[in-house]
Amino acid sequence: MRQGLIRLAMPRLPGVLIVILLGAPIVFGLAGTLLPALGYLPALGGHDFSLKPFQDLFSVPGLAHSIALSFGTGLTATALSLSITVLFTACWLGTRTLQLIRNLLSPLLAVPHAAAAFGLAFLIAPSGFLVRLLSPWATGFDRPPDILILNDPLGLAMIAGLVMKEVPFLFLMTLAVLPQTDSLRKMKVASSLGYGRTAGFLKACQPDLYKRIRLPVLAVLAYSTSVVDMAQILGPTTPAPLAPRILEWMGDPDPAFRLQASAGALLQLIVSAFAVVLWLGLERLTAFVGRTINRNGVRHRRDMPIRISMLVSMGFLVGTMIAGILLLPLWSVSRSWWFPNSLPSTVTFQLWRDIDQTAGAPLLTTLSIGLAVTITAGLLVIAYLESLERSPRGTRKNKSSATGSSSSFIDVLIFLPLLLPQVSFLFGLQVLFVRLDLDGTLFAVCLTHLMFVLPYIYLSLKGPWRELDTRYAKLASSLGACKNKIFLKVRLPLLLHSLLVALAVGFAASVAQYLPTLMVGAGRIVTITTESLALASGGNRSLIALYGTLQLILPLLGFALASVIPALLYRNRAAMRGHS
Amino acid sequence: MTDGLVLDNVNISLAGRSLVEISTTIAAGQVLTVMGDSGSGKSTLLEYVAGFLSAPFQASGKVILNGYDVTSDTPQVRQLGLMFQAPLLFPHMSVLDNLMFGLPAAGLSKGCRAEMAEAALRDVGLEGFGRRDPATLSGGQQTRVALMRLLLAKPKALLLDEPFSSLDQSRRAETRHFVFDMAKSHKLPVLLVSHDPEDAKAAEGEIFTL
């Protein structure tokens, strides 16, 4: 009897674990944000429900301005990122140029937001590389000009940073789903009817494509309207957008500010939700306009101008990002780099030589959290995907047609941590961990990272896993191989490269986490990302650059391993190259 | 008790519509060719006999192998050798590892099992190919290795799903005869699914058209 129960429960266990590990923190986190926002936080002496936290919140000077900034920068960054992605794809799909951009953008996806923001700052700041290149011969500046390029009041620098980070994400998401849309054939039909390349894609393929990248787009919107790390580095400060201000109130020793912060976290949820609602409205409008345009029969045969301009935009974006990133290692070895010198006058590897003192402890913490979380999440995702394979409904035909089944429920749930503004449930989660006496522990930080690493590993591995030819498994089982043998000897080795890439993506996501580490770690868990932002307000550019470079190196190492290990293991297996 | 593969009143349907109805006996060493256009359900019949049929398809009837009813057995224990359109040698294993994947453990030493796999390679004229990467073999060679991998697993019948369609015309006849001769010499009943009349002719057996 008991054995029967175990056998019945085992296949569902991985799915149930994922639901609990993602669902519970979200539910408790949101509840833990709501109650203090209504004045109830016994730990800080708040026993009575009241609207005082909200009254405090709304009397904060410049709050409306902060809300408008979060809203405006988030929507603009998302709309720009999506437009660039879709238009570039429309203009260059099926060409070698697109392949080239794909190869350039794939590694950029792994660059943490903070590192990308530091790189951009080093590039465009008044004392940054670009002004130095032009000074003093063209600009006449022998001192950094007193202009607000970074932290500009409209948040333009922050929008630029967000777009640079989100375009690679949306572009690679687009390329991942494109095969499902049969776009290449649809474009051939459109071309043979006389449509130009760009118009053909936008009219025939784009609507179907958008449906498939909608969740990632909404995730970008939720993230951009509530971003903290990029806002602290590039965003306006007088006032700052909503999310960084909430973080500031949270760190205040006065309990009243904590309650106000929780009300702010709830307000952030509403602001982001409102942005999503507005976005959905814009979707409708675009679809309506699109339908009208689709019927007008205009061919737009000559589309070279837009194709060239999209190529220039994308090239500019990639170039800016790469230039910024390259400045990080350069700054990390510069001793004296006075304005307006274009290059450092003295180079020193002191910071790198003393790495155990300059960054040793944070590096070790980052590595341990990253490895623990990535391995745990990887095992969970593998166990879940394998359990789908073994369930009687798990055959390929059912998987693609299953709607409303447990697998599509998990598909949506797994996206939820990426669709909610982090600060809105992290506040409550922090309260919960304080209650459990777990705040500031590695364990709590790992649990929180898991919420963000699981989705990335799952999203990366799901596609290759489903695309694996099911006939291999059928063949193996008709040869008498049991399910475990098929899993270990056939499926896992065939998917090795995809699996390692997914783990590298997960590890990169863990390294990049700022807000979850800072809040749940209660300031006691210091990673290279949290430390780099702590340094940001100080003026030690070389040290910031060292941390920024480390943020680049760790994910890069992961991806390097992910491509080297299969290449070595399968060096004599031609068909395994380029597999997956 | 009858030797051979018996399909007893097998009826496969999809959403209440009957796709395949067949009741037949394939004797040891005989080939039954099931012909039909794509979408006629011939591959579905093979999936059913091999034990892979799942919702939304529904099936009734029995599959009886050498007198034993295997209808409710898992694919692992049916001992039905399955061959698809492509040889599907595991790309991450060497040719020898592919063959040894097919060999049952059966308490044999590793050296003994490797020797059996080498012998199988010799049987099909591929001596010394054991360490090769399967991707470096020609299509015909791959099909031969795939067949030996199947036979080493000691199947009691063969299920062939258009196994020659991926080969070019010149290799097809040769490989076809090789497979049928092997099946005959091992006294295996063969269920062949195809849309190529040449396959049916070479099989010299009964033809069932869907």
Do B92 and A570 count as a contact with CB atoms less than 8 A apart? yes
Do B135 and A479 count as a contact with CB atoms less than 8 A apart? no
Both ends of chain B: CA-CA distance in Å?
29
- ipTM value: 0.86
Q: What is the pLDDT of residue A404?
A: 38
Q: What is the pLDDT of residue A2?
A: 57
Q: Which tens digit of pLDDT belongs to each residue from B83-132?
A: 988 899 999 999 999 999 998 887 788 888 999 999 999 988 899 999 99
Q: Which tens digit of pLDDT belongs to each residue from A82-127?
A: 999 999 999 999 899 999 999 999 889 889 999 999 999 999 998 8
Do B90 and A392 count as a contact with CB atoms less than 8 A apart? no
Span B5-209 CATH architecture: 3-Layer(aba) Sandwich (3.40)
pLDDT of B160 above 50: yes
Of B93, B102, B136, nearest to A479 by CB-CB distance is: B102
In chain A, which residues touch B (CB < 8 A)? 392-393, 395, 397-398, 469, 471-472, 474-482, 489-490, 493-494, 496, 570, 572-576, 579
Do A474 and B149 count as a contact with CB atoms less than 8 A apart? no
Q: Which residue of B has its CA nearest to A492?
A: B92
Handedness of CA A93, A95, A96, A97 (dihedral sign): negative
With a pLDDT cut of 70, the percent of chain B lying above it is: 100
Which chain B residues have a beta carbon less than 8 Å from that of A496? Answer: 92
d(CA B128, CA B148): 15
Q: What is the pLDDT of residue A393?
A: 52
Number of A/B CB contacts below 8 angstroms equals 79
Do A478 and B84 count as a contact with CB atoms less than 8 A apart? no
CB proximity B74 to A under 8 Å? yes
Q: What is the pLDDT of residue A406?
A: 58
Q: Kindly state the tokens that stand for B43.
A: 């591959």
Q: What is the pLDDT of residue A442?
A: 95
> Which positions of chain A have pLDDT values less than 70?
1-10, 392-407, 578-580
Q: What is the pLDDT of residue A162?
A: 97
Q: What is the DSSP string of A457-491?
A: HHHHHHHHHHHS-HHHHHHHHHTT--HHHIIIIII
Both ends of chain A: CA-CA distance in Å?
42
Strand partners, B192: B33, B160
Distance from CA of B133 to the nearest CA of A (A): 6
Report the side by side order of strands in the sheet with B80-83: B80-83, B157-161, B190-194, B31-35, B206-209
Strand partners, B206: B32
Q: How confident is the model at residue B170 (pLDDT cuts 50, 70, 90)?
A: confident
Q: What is the pLDDT of residue A438?
A: 92
Domains of chain B by residue range: 5-209
Binding-face residues of B in 50-69 toward A, CB within 8 A: 50-52, 54-56
Amino acid at A264: G
Contact indicator for B175, B21 with CB cutoff of 8 Å: no
pTM of the predicted model as reported, rounded to 2 decimal places: 0.89
For the beta carbon of residue A246, count every other beta carbon within 10 angstroms: 27
Of B54, B55, B82, nearest to A478 by CB-CB distance is: B82
From the candidates B90, B129, B151, which should be mutated to test the interface with A, based on the most A CB atoms within 10 A? B90
Q: Which tens digit of pLDDT belongs to each residue from B18-57?
A: 888 999 999 998 999 999 887 778 888 998 999 988 778 8
d(CA A520, CA A539): 27
d(CA B43, CA B161): 7
Q: What is the pLDDT of residue A402?
A: 36
d(CA B46, CA B32): 12
* Helical segments of A182-254, H only: 183-192, 197-204, 206-225, 229-234, 242-250
